[in-house]
Amino acid sequence: MIEMKYVPEDSEILLTECKDFDFTNPPHDPKELAQALHDTMVKSDGLGLSANQVGIPYKVFVMRTGDEPFAMFNPKIVDMSNKEISMKEGCLSFPLLYLNVKRPDAVRIRFQNEHGETNTERFIGMTARIALHEFDHMLGKVYTQKASQFETQRALRKRMILKRKVKK
């Protein structure tokens, strides 16, 4: 089993574009990696998890679509909706930090599954938001970069207060 531990939110890996996952010479067993990412995400009560959030620098993420792991290796956006929706987002890498982020309402993504097979799927609404959030992670982008600086600073102050209350 692959050991999964979240990197700190100021870790450089979160701001670095990930490498393609090579199925011809895999750095990890893809099925085992997908399962470990899924289990870590579920244990943390998350909706998605990118490999770089746990220190693995490859283009792979999982998202919650039921009980089975749903993994995307080497995803590429094929098409996006012009309609954007603003909604509060959180991130497992930034506990207790919730920000309004505007994202397309629908996206089509071409990706490989854990068996190396290429698929293209369309995601709408919340699953589109989750997929785009995780896709950003693989590009070295985090959701704090998509929110206004004012809102991010306000949310960081609010989080500091929440953390103090939790410690008491």
Of 12, 32, 134, 151, catalytic: 134
Give the tokens for residue 78.
Answer: 């094929």
CA distance 128 to 92: 18
Per the annotation, the verdict on 134 as an active-site residue is yes
Annotate 46-83 with DSSP letters as a single string. -SEEEGGGGT--BSEEEE-SSSS--EEEEEEEEEE-S-
Q: Which residues are catalytic?
A: 134
